[in-house]
Amino acid sequence: MSRAFNFSAGPATLPEAVLRQAQAEMLEWDGAGASIVELSHRGPEFMEVARQAEADLRTLMSIPDDYAVLFLAGGATAQQALLALNFAAPGQTVDYVVTGHWGKTAIKQARPYVNVNIAADGEAGGFRDIPARADWRLSKDAAYVHYTANETIHGVEFRDIPDVDNAPLFADFSSSIASEPLDVSRFGVIYGGAQKNLGPVGVTVVIVRRDLLERAGQPRADIFSYASHAANDSMLNTPPTWNWYLAGLVFKWMLAQGGVEEFARRNARKSKLLYDTIDGSGGFYRNEIAPGVRSRMNVPFFLHDPALDAAFLKDAKAAGLISLKGHRVLGGMRASIYNTMPEEGVQALAAFMRQFQQAHG
């Protein structure tokens, strides 16, 4: 087939213009005599790629100067362990708000190092809503408060930054980073794997308020220290250079498209179209998330009869719509519609869903 509309939850679709540039530069980067994937991370070529990527991300997300921006390996899951190691004393209390699968994962990584207080947990309600802020039981002296801005599997998204006055706010933004304007100054740490809204797999962005880097944390290897990574411009060891470069191409593309303000508008239109299609299907399709916290990024949905799932996936693929199978935790379907998914893709999916319903309704 030719290039399809790819609704994968991550690794996820990339702008064709970015892939074409990476393709053109695969044998040689900018007259350097070698591909960027072959050049030293300490050479002038990659140093400039890295500098430009950071500058562009700072512009894109309006990141204040008192925040460090790190480009690291290991994915968001590794950061979930490192947050505890770097910013909490051994056994210190930390507050976690759990609104889905990834919030639970975050706790699992932190537990060996800290005393986890689950300040709020949506699991009893099947993670279909976010516990009301008034019901959160925050600790008096937590090292930090952690939440998951968007739950990739359950399709639940915070539409506002929660107010917490007791401790710095840490947030996993893996699946919604740079999808709309965000007041970074409200956070202590924002982190996310790049492979959803920011581009390629294999590099993770960590945005950390610099004063937090002075916390002692707990005994750990130097390679696990954010302060060391910050002091070495994320080149404490060999970083994932090509992935960082490709992320930089996506940042440039996003800026050229109009920045996060424009993507906020597109993402609102895309998600509204999909939810309207589901809600307007008379129960043929179903999404059970409370309307106020439905994710703009990941739209899980179920067919009224699971026996139709296989036909739905097969026909969708034939129509050039791929990677719609839901996560194994929930089953059903899921359409991930990050920044990099064009509106035409979502329009094609909505049209296909209506056709499929007509044929099988």
Tokens of 82: 């490192």
CB of 134 to its own copies, least distance (A): 32
Distance CA(247)–CA(49), nearest Å, equals 10
Torsion of CA 293, 69, 93, 169, to 10 degrees: -40
Q: Write out the binding residues for its own copies, residues 192-231 only, by CB under 8 A.
A: 193, 195, 200-203, 219-224
CB of 255 to its own copies, least distance (A): 21
Is 2 a binder of its own copies (CB under 8 A)? yes
Distance CA(242)–CA(288), nearest Å, equals 40
Distance CA(60)–CA(335), nearest Å, equals 25
Q: Which amino acid is at 195?
A: Q
Q: How far apart are the first and last CA of the chain?
A: 28
CB 168 within 8 A of CB 310: no
Catalytic-residue membership of 102:
yes
CB 21 within 8 A of CB 248: no
Catalytic-residue membership of 140:
no
Catalytic-residue membership of 315:
no
Is 34 a binder of its own copies (CB under 8 A)? yes
Of 29-37, 50-58, 117-125, 272-280: span binding its own copies (CB under 8 A): 29-37
Distance CA(324)–CA(200), nearest Å, equals 19
Residue 6 labelled as part of a binding site: no
Distance CA(317)–CA(108), nearest Å, equals 36
CB of 239 to its own copies, least distance (A): 8
Catalytic residue among 29, 172, 253, 270: 172
Among 138, 322, 330, 348, which residue sits at the site for its own copies (rule: CB under 8 A)?
322
Catalytic residue among 56, 136, 196, 325: 196
Which stretches of 131-258 are DSSP H helices? 226-231, 241-257
CB 11 within 8 A of CB 195: yes
Distance CA(181)–CA(201), nearest Å, equals 23
Query: Whose Cβ is closer to its own copies: residue 31's or residue 283's?
Result: 31
Q: From its phi and psi, is residue 104 left (phi > 0), alpha (psi between -120 and 50) or beta?
A: alpha
Q: Write out the binding residues for its own copies, residues 174-193 only, by CB under 8 A.
A: 193
Q: Write out the binding residues for its own copies, residues 72-101 only, by CB under 8 A.
A: 73-78, 80-81, 84
DSSP, collapsed to helix, strand or coil, labels residue 275 as helix
Is 20 a binder of its own copies (CB under 8 A)? yes
Query: Whose Cβ is closer to its own copies: residue 43's or residue 258's?
Result: 43
Query: Whose Cβ is closer to its own copies: residue 220's or residue 252's?
Result: 220
Among 246, 278, 346, 350, which residue sits at the site for its own copies (rule: CB under 8 A)?
246
CB 195 within 8 A of CB 201: yes
Residue 77 labelled as part of a binding site: yes
Among 37, 89, 138, 230, which residue sits at the site for its own copies (rule: CB under 8 A)?
37
Of 35-43, 156-164, 184-192, 282-290: span binding its own copies (CB under 8 A): 35-43
Q: Where in the sequence numbering do the catalytic residues fall? A: 102, 172, 196
- Give the footprint of its own copies on this chain (CB under 8 A): 1-4, 6, 8-14, 16, 19-20, 22-23, 26-28, 31-35, 37-41, 43, 73-78, 80-81, 84, 108-110, 112-113, 193, 195, 200-203, 219-224, 236-243, 246, 317, 320, 322-323
